[in-house]
């Protein structure tokens, strides 16, 4: 063979080898191209050997056939060309049974156990042996149910019957290992009648069960106190009613909790609620009773039976449990509760929500009667509750129909009665009459409707201010902002923008708030500071009632203090009230705060206000609240008198 022929032959062989190597790469099993002596020329990714490695034992007679490798493994060998200069060696697939057997013993996740028809273990994998803490020899022949907790062995007959009947079953039981610890195990069993064997695939679900129990506990228990929550109590109540029971319900609302929470801080308030929950659990409520927290300072007791008499007895026990003060980090706190009771009265079927609503209404009435009271829901309260529902429904319609409008009560100088400002007071104008806020405001607050009503009032008041400015009679407008309004996201920025768009100066508006609205949470303070920075003046309304504290005059961002009418009423006749109010006026003057005396109805009260240094007031002596048309007339008359 000349040189050219030799080169041609070598190039042809190289091309063939390259083609065979490409084929080798796509084979899904271990494969290699080898010489007749078993030396590797090329191998695919399933085979961890390099070129030149010895893979197969040398041929005995030179003919390709099934051969054993150097390590004893079986290989199938066939020639790649007609003269068998190169061979393709592929590893033979392992028997499926061998593969499953290897998986059986190597599995670390599932637990495989094989039983005979008497539930005795014939074969088990290491994972099962680790779970029970026994060796394969110790497990062999053991009755499976000997490993189960004594209280779970009663399930055996039912499961074995199901296996024989259907061929399948699931067994959930507590398994006691060699270390004495219990684990929750779930076995999926399949019975093969042809061989009389039961094959089990098991799983340790201890942690899964713990997490499930924890999630379930959280779903039905109050996080702070550990008591049942609303969902749990309502489910229990609905179950009692669904089974024809006649449960009773106690709605227990802590008295003056806001004062404690605001004065001592939320952390101390939470501690009090926790301690209260613990103490309520110590009360003998009866075996069919459940107690829970609905949120805030509201606790509810559900009694499975017993009617009004038993409910009153339980209420007395709750009240007795609260007589001893609570020790909170060295502070002794006394608390009381207003309790409302609802029962399943003869002839009246009530749903769980209706019973809860009845008890809530009774608790509301208990507070109205002076707190620390126990009131049972009856026909009279039913009428009150129905009235509140009717009012709420009417309010929602009134909001849609824009039936709310401001009536303006002038604020005047005491010595001559000249108008210096006007407070916008909400009125509900129906086709039949004009309704004062005393008839609907508490319902609106409970129903969460104050932000919508407040928005209507703000729009109308700003429009009124713009109207008087256009007439050449600009007047400071006072707007009441409720707790709910102050906590509406963007309330402050929206008000600032709206006043600016109307072409008005923010300083011509006084935003009136109550201490309770500001102190309920800290989130209202930034809103008030932003409004004040924008030029609005802030007034503290009804000072002297409820939450009032002289410290708040320094802490809150306010410009005006409106002294409650309860001080003014006794000002001419009560020396103590006279002295206190005079001191308050002097203090406000020293702090640079303006004072408005509310509720002046007689000349004697007006004279007493002047005596203590008061200069600005409002009340029926000067003007009653009036519609905008009447205020326009009053301002025009004043202009003509004092041009």
CB 196 within 8 Å of CB 116: yes
Q: What percent of the chain has pLDDT over 90?
A: 34
15 — pLDDT class (breaks 50, 70, 90): low
Q: What is the mean pLDDT of residues 274-280?
A: 90
CA distance 365 to 202: 59
Least confidently predicted of 142-146, 341-345, 420-424: 142-146
- Top pLDDT among 389 and 211 is at 389
**pLDDT value at 307 more than 70:** yes
Whole-number Cα distances in Å, 384 to 249, 343, 353, 418, 552: 19, 17, 17, 43, 37
**pLDDT value at 61 more than 50:** no
* Highest mean pLDDT of the ranges 127-136, 140-149, 560-569: 560-569
Look at residue 427 in the predicted model and tell me its pLDDT. Answer: 96
Strands 182-192, 337-343: pairing kind: unpaired
247 — pLDDT class (breaks 50, 70, 90): very high
**pLDDT value at 3 more than 50:** no
- Top pLDDT among 639 and 111 is at 639
Residue 162 CB burial class (10 angstroms; 0-12, 13-18, ≥19): middle
Name the H helices within 322-449.
352-368, 379-400, 441-446
Q: What is the mean pLDDT of residues 334-338?
A: 89
Q: What percent of the chain has pLDDT over 70?
A: 85
CB 525 within 8 Å of CB 557: yes
Tokens at 550, concatenated? 């002289």
**pLDDT value at 92 more than 50:** yes
pLDDT digits (tens, 9 = 90+) for 548-568: 556 667 778 899 999 888 888
CB proximity list for 503: less than 8 A, separation 6 or greater: 466, 469
- Top pLDDT among 130 and 453 is at 453
Q: What is the mean pLDDT of residues 126-133?
A: 80
Residue 598 CB burial class (10 angstroms; 0-12, 13-18, ≥19): buried
Domains plus CATH for the chain? 3-93 (3.30.450), 97-209 (3.30.450.20), 221-377 (3.30.70.270), 400-641 (3.20.20.450)
Look at residue 108 in the predicted model and tell me its pLDDT. Answer: 57
Which sign, positive or negative, has the C-alpha torsion 494, 498, 499, 500? positive
CA distance 559 to 531: 12
**pLDDT value at 604 more than 80:** yes
Look at residue 9 in the predicted model and tell me its pLDDT. Answer: 47
Least confidently predicted of 144-153, 417-426, 483-492, 511-520: 511-520
Look at residue 154 in the predicted model and tell me its pLDDT. Answer: 86
Least confidently predicted of 298-307, 540-549, 557-566: 540-549
**pLDDT value at 93 more than 90:** no
**pLDDT value at 214 more than 50:** yes
Measure the N-to-C terminal CA separation of the chain; round to a whole number of Å.
134
Q: What is the mean pLDDT of residues 575-590?
A: 90
Sequence-separated contacts (24+) of 565-570 with Cβ below 8 Å: 565/598, 565/599, 565/619, 566/599, 567/597, 568/597, 568/598, 568/599, 568/600, 568/605, 568/608, 568/609, 568/619, 569/599, 569/605
- Top pLDDT among 187 and 462 is at 462
Look at residue 6 in the predicted model and tell me its pLDDT. Answer: 45
Mean residue pLDDT of the chain comes to: 83
CB 403 within 8 Å of CB 391: no
């Amino acid at each position: 063979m000349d040189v050219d022929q030799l080169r041609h032959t070598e190039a042809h062989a190289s091309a063939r080898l390259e083609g065979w190597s490409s084929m080798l790469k796509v084979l899904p099993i271990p494969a290699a191209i080898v010489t007749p002596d078993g030396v590797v020329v090329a191998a695919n990714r399933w085979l961890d050997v390099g070129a030149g490695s010895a893979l197969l034992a040398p041929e005995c007679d030179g003919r390709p056939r099934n051969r054993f490798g150097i390590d004893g493994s079986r290989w199938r060998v066939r020639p790649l060309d007609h003269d068998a200069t190169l061979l393709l060696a592929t590893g033979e697939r392992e028997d499926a049974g061998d593969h499953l057997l290897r998986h059986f013993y190597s599995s670390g996740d599932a637990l495989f156990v094989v039983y005979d028809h008497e539930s005795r273990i014939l074969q088990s994998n290491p994972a099962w042996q680790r779970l029970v803490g026994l060796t394969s020899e110790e497990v062999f022949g053991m009755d499976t149910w000997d490993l189960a907790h004594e209280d779970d062995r009663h399930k055996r007959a039912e499961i074995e019957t199901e296996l024989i009947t259907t061929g399948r079953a699931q067994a959930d039981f507590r398994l006691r290992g060699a270390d004495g610890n219990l684990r929750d195990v779930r076995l999926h069993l399949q019975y093969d009648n042809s061989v009389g064997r039961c094959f089990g695939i098991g799983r340790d679900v201890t942690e899964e069960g713990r997490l499930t129990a924890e999630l379930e506990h959280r779903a039905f228990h109050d996080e702070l106190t550990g008591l049942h929550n609303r969902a749990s109590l309502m489910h229990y109540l609905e179950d009692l009613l669904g089974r024809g029971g006649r449960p009773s319900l106690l709605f227990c609302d802590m008295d003056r909790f806001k004062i404690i929470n605001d004065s001592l801080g939320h952390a101390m308030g939470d501690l009090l609620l926790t301690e209260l929950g613990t103490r309520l659990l110590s009360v003998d409520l009866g075996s069919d009773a459940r107690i829970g927290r609905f949120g805030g300072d509201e606790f509810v007791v559900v009694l499975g039976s017993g009617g009004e008499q038993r409910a009153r007895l339980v209420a007395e026990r709750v009240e007795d449990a609260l007589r001893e003060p609570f020790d909170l980090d060295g502070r002794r706190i006394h608390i009381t509760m207003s309790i409302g009771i609802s029962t399943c009265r003869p002839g009246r079927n009530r749903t769980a929500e209706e019973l809860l609503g009845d008890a809530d209404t009774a608790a509301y009435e208990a507070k109205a009667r002076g707190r620390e009271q126990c009131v049972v829901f009856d026909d009279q309260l039913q009428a009150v509750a129905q009235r509140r529902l009717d009012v709420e429904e009417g309010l929602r319609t009134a909001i849609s129909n824009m039936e709310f409008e401001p009536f303006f009560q002038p604020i005047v100088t005491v010595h001559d009665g000249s108008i210096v400002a006007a407070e916008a007071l909400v009125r509900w104008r129906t086709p039949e009459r004009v309704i004062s806020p005393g008839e609907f405001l508490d319902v609106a607050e409970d129903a969460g409707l104050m932000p919508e009503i407040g928005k209507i009032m703000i729009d109308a008041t700003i429009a009124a201010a713009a109207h008087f400015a256009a007439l050449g009679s600009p007047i400071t407008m006072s707007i009441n902002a409720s707790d709910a309004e102050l906590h509406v996201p963007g309330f402050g920025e929206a008000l600032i923008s709206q006043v600016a768009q109307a072409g008005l100066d923010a300083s011509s508006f006084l935003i009136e708030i109550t201490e309770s609205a500001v102190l309920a949470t800290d989130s209202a303070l930034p809103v008030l500071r932003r409004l004040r920075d924008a030029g609005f003046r802030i007034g503290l309304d009804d000072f002297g009632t409820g939450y009032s504290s002289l410290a708040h005059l320094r802490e809150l961002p306010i410009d005006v203090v409106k002294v409650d009418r309860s001080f003014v009423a006794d000002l001419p006749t009560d020396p103590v009230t006279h002295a206190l109010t005079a001191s308050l006026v002097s203090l406000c003057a020293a702090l640079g705060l303006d004072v408005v005396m509310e509720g002046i109805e007689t000349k004697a009260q007006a004279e007493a206000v002047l005596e203590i240094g008061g200069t600005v007031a409002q009340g029926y002596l000067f003007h009653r609240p009036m519609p905008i048309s009447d205020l326009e007339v009053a301002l025009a008359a004043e202009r003509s008198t004092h041009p």
